[in-house]
Amino acid sequence: MQAAAAARFVEERVGDKNAQVVLVGDLDADPDSASIRFWPGRQSLDSFGVCYRDAWESLHPGDPGHTFPPLNPLVRDWVVKGMRPFRDWPFRRIDYVFVRFGAHGGLALDVLACERIFEEPIDGVWASDHFGLVADLSRPAT
């Protein structure tokens, strides 16, 4: 319901304008969850639907794009301290860059690149418990 509420908030502000919208963040859900399937239009929620392009999936079809893996010691330490046994912790993609298609099927921004960043420690220090996700976007050619 939070995904539908967020999308309704965006739609109320942009409506039929041919505005580009980029939605990014730690959405704390796997690609197969209802809240994530909602954004690219694979599932409606609360009788409402939208159509956004998943930047990672656009350029890396079939690649799971894990951003919250147990190989990162910040994740492993958090899991071991009481959440669940480390051996059961799955590799997960929970961070996203979504680009909204324009009004009435107008073109979304072109996704030129979408890559994970901070996948390795620097001088033994991890930037976060998540890998970062960065995308290069461009206005579509007309």
CATH number at residue 68: 3.60.10.10
Q: Does 51 score more than 60 pLDDT?
A: yes
How many whole angstroms from its chain centre is CA 31?
8
DSSP three-state, residue 11 = helix
Question: pLDDT digits over 6-36, tens only?
Answer: 999 998 998 777 788 999 999 989 999 999 9
Q: What is the mean pLDDT of residues 122-126?
A: 89
Beta-strand pair 110-117/52-54: unpaired
Question: pLDDT digits over 61-92, tens only?
Answer: 999 999 987 777 776 665 555 555 555 556 78
DSSP string, 33-85: SHHHHHTTTSS-BTTB---EEEHHHHHSTT----SS-TTSHHHHHHIIIIIS-
The tally of domains found in the chain comes to: 1
Range of the domain at 11: 2-138
Cross-strand partners of 26: 95
d(CA 120, CA 72): 8
Q: What is the mean pLDDT of residues 111-139?
A: 91
pTM of the model: 0.85
